[in-house]
Structure 1
């Protein structure tokens, strides 16, 4: 494994250009194989965090407001004309 990099932690959103620069620095310091491993771990972590708080909705969860039922019926009738 390569020696410790002189990288500073930044807690901020980065754009594509900044991401390319960061990846370039990682490749220069750690090499392609280890950088690829790091990026795979970051991708996995991002996927886990994005799906950890997901919710599921069923049709029963999406109730219509009784006072608007006429609007739905009117739209259904117009779609058959």
Structure 2
């Protein structure tokens, strides 16, 4: 059996996902597994995001995701003209 190291980009992305979804850094085995999955999907996050959001750890902490309750981010007002300063 050959061992392949996941890409640095996938490792960093998965670490970010763990912190965003679970509020903690990834454990080594989870980091390896999900980074491998992301590499196999050519970096397509849709391949793993649903699993993160539907995991028992996420649901225990935050409840199930309800797509109808997600609100868009507020729009920022335009920047003032530079001549004001």
Alignment TM-score, normalising by the size of structure 2: 0.31
Q: More helix per residue: 1 or 2?
A: 1
Q: TM-score, normalised by structure 1?
A: 0.33
Larger radius of gyration: 1
